Structure 1
Amino acid sequence: MDRKRTVWLLIVVLVLVGGLLLMLRGGWEPTPDGPRASAAVAAKPTPARAGTHLSPKPESPHAATALPSRLVPATYAEAPAESRGSFEGLVISATTGEGVSSAELTFAGPGGATSTRTEASGRFRFVPPTAGTWLLAVVTAQGYLPFGPEWGQSPIRFTAVPGQRISDIVLALTPEVELLGRVEDPDGQPVPGAQVRVLTGRGGESVLFPTSDHFTSDARGEFRFRAPEGASVEARHPAYSSARAEVTPSAVLARRLVLKLSKRESDPGAPHGESLAGRVVDGSGTAVPQALVSVSSAASAWPRRYGDELGYETLTDAEGRFILEGLEPGTYDVTARSMGLAPDELRDVTAGRKDLVLTLATGTKLVGTVRDTATGKPLPSFTLAVFTKRGPLQRDVFTQHSFINAQGRYEVAGVPTGSYVLQAAASGYAPSEANVEVPQGASGPVTTDLSLARGAKMAGRVVEEGSGLPLERARISVEGVGTGEGALSLRYDALTDARGDFTLDGLPPGELSLFVSADGHHSRVLSGITVRGDTAPPLTIELRKTDEGEEPQIELVGIGAVLAPREDALVLGEVAPGGGAAEAGLVTGDSIVHIDGRPVVEMGFANAVQRIRGPEGSRLVLGVRKASATGTGGSATPVVDIPVTRRRLLR
């Protein structure tokens, strides 16, 4: 199969109850460097990983899936007439909740492949040819981004049991969005002939449906493209340094994205001469052909990045050998994966090495059951994420799967020795997690059961600032729910009704932030919202209307810095001009160790970020290890208390 880079899609699995529409989305998405967040907004300034001049990334059983999951408790019933089990549900639009007619769903399982289509209402019924586990292999519908990962590698699993019917399953497809892009020079003038590409790092999820992702700007500097929210778009021109922009919610609403090139300080096309080469073998030393080898800038070097920001990928040959050429001198992390085997990773590899050996072992299985805490009954629909523990603050996503299973069972194979965190999530429930150790030489499955308790409800209304008019179809996204780390940190989404009202369910206790957007209005991020008990206080949220011709922006309050967890601190990446961090003299590479005297390791990454946010004009004291003190900001560097004022920013 020709593996081409493709546009990112979103397909999400949920069970619909009473019209409730909730989305489990990554508040911070996992990256090669681990999770990051903006302390001014729970934004995702996280470049995705993808190949550049090499083979793009096929989905693997342990790759970080980009799938958010819409899950509310599925219903199942004993159905003796269903000799092979059955599934019933609905395909909807992820943005409107309306049913999608004539969507085709293909399942792959022990009986081969079989398909079904939705009715005019979007409803479908799937009766598998045989009982057992079936993967949701393909979903397509006209006008929507398709779902079609590498065959046999879907992270969505349906388990069919004779005499059982699972109902109220909902698959939500993301509509295709066409945007107008414009490439400009430093003076805002159009740049024709610029080479543009869409960068998502998630092409493995639509590998069966390649989509155009390379463009050239016309005489007006413009190009038209399709991309989902969260994608990155890069523009290059020989006369300038390259530019990259994210397809933000505001860009989606405006249907417009501007890439502004900067003056060229050096030759951006100058070739790099380093390479990395080696071999991938299994536990017996036998070559592993067609293993996916991924190379990215070393996580330990962040915020310094080496090579292409998106990393590099290639496949091993018949002898298990690989080579990546044209790398910038520096240090890199190298990972190898192959279906059915536990991955291997080499960290802090110096460019130029030709003797790398990555060994893919058999690994073990993680198994268990996810239950309702109050009733003890298994949950028939949930999502499970497995994170590798890198330190007291940092977790890297190992894998994520959605399970539709009346017994509430999960199974994750090919897990190597190490320390992990399992996080289970289902809509209407607060997420739950457990620490798991896979010991050296483990021969049998490692069993871990999890239970989920019902979360709190939040209701509110979105209105226009000044007029007080209700805003219909405004989008409310909850950020920072749960740990806030990885692909399964909860970010529930809701759409307002005709009165501007919305309801969110399943929120855990603690502080959270809301991202609120509406067509024709500036977006806002509200932080410091406290959830206690079963019901959160109702909110009224005002959005400012955009003037004619005005581009929508995001209004946020914070210190204005991008953060990433490293050992016992939060390291600053980008520092926004005009923000509190810049005012206080904080720079890229500084490390936040304390917040108002409390160590960040006690808070955890998500809680620390929430603590940094707050009302405009309020102050906090950050205990900082200055990078300039030693050149590294290491643990031996003295901690200095620095007062920082939270500022209102637009982006």
Structure 2
Amino acid sequence: MRGRVVSSRTGQGISTANIVILRQGRVESIQSNADGDFEYEPPMPGDYVIAGASHPDFQPFAPTHGNNGINLRFEHGSTFSNITLVLTPLFFCEGIVTDEQKHPVPRAKVHFLSTGRWDPVSAPPQRTFETDDMGHFRIPLIPDALIQAEAGDAHSQVECLCIITECPLQLTLDAQAPAANLPYIEGAVFDTHGDPVPDIRVSATSATIRRAREDDQAPINDGGLDEEFLAMVMNIGTHDEAITAEDGHFAIGPLSYETYDVFISTAPETAVTVMAGTRELRLTLTTTGQVRGHVFAADDDSPINRFSLVLDKYRSNGELAGGRLGDSFHQNTLVHDASGVFELRKMVPGKYRVQVAALGFSSATQTLTIGSGETTQFALPLMRASPVRGVVSDARTGQPLNGAVVMPWKTPLAGDWSDAVTLGAVSTYPLMTRTTADGFFELAAGDEPLWINHEGYNPWVLRERPPTGHVLKVLLSPLENGQAPVEEYGGVGLAYEEAPARDDIWQVERVFEGSPAERSGIKAGDKLLAIDDGTAIGIELMQVLHRVRGEPGTQVRLRFLSGGTGREYEVVLTRVRLPER
């Protein structure tokens, strides 16, 4: 088994990362080398799991109930290579601890009392930090975590690293302030026979803001949620979770002194409303089921031995839950199996959406129903994808860039706090490659936009797909004077929206200032009729972006219906380098 630990921000290898491997109840640990590479030779055939990867400057890869790790089934002669573990760099918040006279306090302790939005298993292992000789400290920015400073018998007030927190922090010690004594909710999960159930995720959400307040509705009834309000509070409200131990026991907290809805994460109908501090809470899990699947190539039935798997549970009203209750309905894993087979156990009965992606294939989705006490079997063929080929170079010097990372792109959130929220779901990427010494890459990743990046450069977002056989030229612009990276693309400077009363036509929502589109006179409200020699009517937005975007310096011909005059007109625009908005 060979692989590499890399940074999600730069794609570069992470040296001295610690990788944990489980085999038949035993734990082994290996370390990445200076380039981030690691190698492991299993002593015998069998099932192995990469159960963790960590480094002090990154959020650890620590699989839990919602992220099952990397599963590998070794047989005689099996070899797994190019395993990539992607760790996300931590955001940090600096601050100072002072006494009541505002003097800095050296060697004071700053304690994390909770891990906020992050699962305790996935949060950084260090929970206590010490100030330097000037009273300064630097701690990971963990959204909604609670912290408190301490020096001798003096303590600060408990602070929350929430969305309104401004860094640097100032924690003031008070000799009269007590040490934090925040409440927990404790209990256990049992099956229908009364036996404890381990490895079950339990969630607690604030009852005052998370549930619909109708007298005739249960606290959470899988359909009585105020969706508009819920969508808002998911960005600012707290939620806490725990995983049951071998004896089924869980402890959630520390919490604020208020009322909470506590429920088995994948079964919101189990919700019980209790006060923080409640002990001996009992939750009952219905009889679970399991899934056994087979992933293979559609053209020749050959097994696909490396793929990512994402499950999302449907709510009883037919809508995808989408993880809106603390990522309760979202489970992902990365499978390595020579026969392309996977198994998922302890699944709550219900309807699920399964998404599978593999390097060299288009992703596929299937819906399945898991029955109580049953094993659901299904097969998922994947279509081979046409590879995207390109050469990545320095935009200033033209020199090829070795080791640039190419991977599927997702829209980032803005700001350290929002970005830190997304770290709660640590990822591994089967769809990832790096450029060779001559800057060349090849990646067959279906229809997903691609993200191309190298340390010290602005990333490039590639939505378009070149003609078969065409080799893209991607030029990354170097960062200057410590500037923050800005994602760029080749385009003309237009944003689109559906035309009123016409869901088959896209019209211009916005024209970006200083862009080729603005210089050509295109206006908001103009309707897009054609792109080059093909119609733009009745096609998906992604197809519009694929065809309008392209390499800077190339041209695209667009035909519009003016929203002002009602006349058709045509423009030929030269694509330029633009910031992704």
Equivalent AA in structure 1 for residue 375 of structure 2: P
TM-score when scaled to structure 2?
A: 0.57
CA gap of 1:345–1:135, structure 2 versus 1, over 3 A, is same
User: Are the aligned partners of 1:380 and 1:406 in contact in 2 as well (CA < 8 Å)?
Assistant: yes
1:540 aligns with 2:470: no
Asked whether the 8 Å contact 1:371–1:450 carries over to 2, the reply is yes
CA separation of 1:559 and 1:296: change in aligned 2, threshold 3 A? farther
Cα distance in structure 2, aligned partners of 1:116 and 1:325: 34
CA distance in 1, matches of 2:453, 2:368: 36
Q: How many Å separate the matches in 2 of 1:489 and 1:171? A: 9
Residue 373, structure 1, aligned to residue 298, structure 2: yes
| Cross-structure match for 2:121 | 204
Determine the structure 1 residue equivalent to 2:189: 280
Alpha-carbon separation, structure 2, partners of 1:608 and 1:194: 55
Local SS of the residue matching 1:166: coil
Larger Rg: 2
SS in 2 for 1:94: strand
Q: What amino acid is aligned across from residue 214 of structure 1 in structure 2?
A: T
Instruction: After superposition, give the CA deviation of every residue in 1:350-393 in whole Å (9 maximum; x if it has no partner).
Output: 56497975322331121121111121111223332222124546
Structure 1 CA distance, aligned partners of 2:31 and 2:429? 30
Residue 554 (structure 1) shift: 2.9
Amino acid at match of 1:211: P
* 1-structure distance, mates of 2:142, 2:384: 33
Are the equivalent residues in 2 in contact too, given 1:418–1:437 (CA < 8 A)? yes
- Give the C-alpha shift of residue 434 in structure 1: 0.8
**Residue matched to 2:4:** 92
Partner of 1:516: 453
2:365 maps to which of 414, 427, 433: 433
Aligned partner of 1:526 among 442, 456, 461: 461
- Distance in 1, matches of 2:91 and 2:236, equals 29
Paired residues of 1:118 and 1:124 also in contact (CA < 8 A)? no
Kindly state the Cα deviation for residue 217 of structure 1 after the two structures are TM-superposed.
4.9
Contact 2:289/2:347 (CA < 8 Å) preserved in 1? Answer: yes
- Could you say what secondary structure the match of 1:302 adopts? helix
1:243–1:283 CA distance, 2 compared to 1 (3 A): closer
Partner Cα distance (1:201, 1:536) in 2: 43
Q: Pick from 81, 85, 94 the counterpart of residue 169 of structure 1.
A: 81
Correspondences of 1:594-609 after superposition (within 5 Å) = none
Q: CA 1:462/1:291 → structure 2, altered by over 3 Å: closer, same or farther?
A: closer
SS of residue matched to 2:41: strand
Supply the AA of the counterpart residue of 2:264: T
Partner SS, residue 126 of structure 1: coil
Query: Do structure 1's residue 415 and structure 2's residue 415 form an aligned pair?
Result: no
Residue pair 2:117, 2:240 contacting (<8 A) in 1 also? no
Deviation at 1:285, TM superposition (A): 3.9
1:251-273 deviations in whole A, cap 9, x for unaligned? xxxxxxx9345999xxxx99999
Cα 1:157–1:489, aligned 2, differ >3 Å: closer, same or farther? Answer: closer
- Amino acid across the alignment from 1:284: H
Deviation at 1:232, TM superposition (A): 5.8
SS at match of 1:518: coil
Which of 427, 443, 446 is equivalent to 1:505?
A: 443
Question: Is the alpha carbon distance of 1:133 and 1:344 closer, same or farther for their aligned partners in structure 2, counting shifts above 3 Å?
Answer: same
Query: Partner residue of 1:395?
Result: 322
2:43 to 127, 130, 144: 127
Q: Which residue of 1 aligns with 2:233?
A: 304
* Cα pair distance change 1:472/1:190, threshold 3 Å: farther
Name the SS for the 2:444 alignment partner.
strand
1:158 corresponding residue in structure 2: 72
1:579-594 pair list within 5 angstroms: none
- Find the aligned partners of 1:469 and 1:190 in 2 and give their Cα distance: 53
Q: CA deviation at 1:156?
A: 2.8
Q: How does 1:106-125 map to 2 (within 5 A)?
A: 106-109=21-24, 122-125=38-41
Task: Decide whether aligned partners of structure 1 residues 283 and 347 sit closer, same or farther in structure 2, where only a CA change above 3 A counts.
Answer: closer
Q: Which amino acid aligns with 1:447?
A: Q
Is 1:295 paired with 2:204?
Answer: yes
Cα distance change, pair 437–272 in 1 and its aligned pair in 2 (3 A)? farther
Query: Any conservation in 1 of the 2:355–2:363 contact (CA below 8 Å)?
Result: yes
Q: Which aligned pairs between 1:214-229 and structure 2 lie closer than 5 A?
A: 214-218=128-132, 222-223=136-137
**Count of matched residue positions in the alignment of Structure 1 and Structure 2:** 445
Report the CA distance shift for 1:318/1:490 in structure 2 as closer, same or farther (over 3 A). closer
Query: 2 CA distance for matches of 1:190 and 1:516?
Result: 44
With over 3 angstroms needed to count, the CA separation of the structure-2 counterparts of 1:159 and 1:194, relative to structure 1, is: closer
Does structure 2 retain, via aligned residues, the 8 Å contact 1:473–1:518? no
Distance 1:418 1:431 in 2: 23
Change (3 A) 1:182 1:535: farther
**Aligned partners of 1:472 and 1:496 also within 8 Å:** yes
Counterpart secondary structure, 2:121:
helix
Superposed CA offset, 1:471-506 (max 9, x none): 55444442159xxxx88896844444555x242412
TM-score (norm 1): 0.52
Q: Tell me the CA shift for residue 446 of structure 1.
A: 0.9
Contact 2:241–2:252 (8 Å) recurs in 1: no
Offset from partner CA, 1:398-438 (integer Å, 9 cap, x none): 43333332222111112222111122222222222211012
TM alignment of 1:457-468, pairs within 5 A: 457-466=387-396, 468=398
Cα pair distance change 1:546/1:123, threshold 3 Å = same
- Which structure's relative contact order is higher, taking Cα pairs within 8 Å and 6+ residues apart? 1
CA RMSD of aligned residues (A): 6.0
What is the correspondence of 1:349-368 to structure 2 with a 5 Å cutoff?
Answer: 352=275, 358-368=283-293
Work out whether residues 180 and 223 of structure 1, in 8 Å CA contact, stay in contact via their aligned partners in 2.
no
* Equivalent position amino acid for 2:480 in 1: T
Once residues 543 and 273 of structure 2 are traced to their aligned partners in structure 1, the CA distance between those partners, rounded to angstroms, is: 33
1:552 is aligned, of 476, 479, 484, to 484
Q: Which runs of 5+ in 1 are unaligned?
A: 1-88, 246-257, 337-342, 561-578, 581-594, 597-601, 619-647
Equivalent of residue 268 in structure 2, options 331, 345, 355? 345
Q: Say if 1:452 and 1:526 are closer, same or farther in 2 by CA, change over 3 A.
A: same
C-alpha contact 1:456 1:532 (8 A) present in aligned 2: no
Aligned 8 A contact 1:132 1:160 in 2: yes
SS at match of 1:303: helix
Q: Contact (CA 8 Å) 1:277, 1:321: kept in 2 or not?
A: yes
The one-letter code matched in structure 1 to 2:43 is V
CA contact (8 A) 1:477 1:493 kept: yes
Identify if the C-alpha distance between structure 1 residues 335 and 375 changes in structure 2 by more than 3 Å, giving closer, same or farther.
same
Say if 1:103 and 1:393 are closer, same or farther in 2 by CA, change over 3 A.
closer
Of residues 152, 156, 167, the one that matches 1:259 is: 167
Hey, what's the Cα distance between the residues in 2 that align with 1:239 and 1:322?
24
- Bigger shift: 283-292 or 170-179? 170-179
Tell me how far apart the structure 2 counterparts of residues 364 and 302 of structure 1 sit (CA, whole Å): 30
For residue 569 of structure 2, what is the aligned residue in structure 1?
none
CA 1:477/1:609 → structure 2, altered by over 3 Å: closer, same or farther? farther
Contact 2:409 2:461 in 1 (8 A): no
**In the alignment, residue 395 of structure 1 is paired with which amino acid?**
G
Partner amino acid, structure 2, of 1:304: V
Report if aligned partners of 2:204, 2:240 keep a CA contact under 8 Å in 1. Answer: yes
Distance 1:105 1:263, change over 3 A: closer
Distance change (3 Å), C-alpha of 1:221 and 1:478: farther
Local SS of the residue matching 1:531: coil
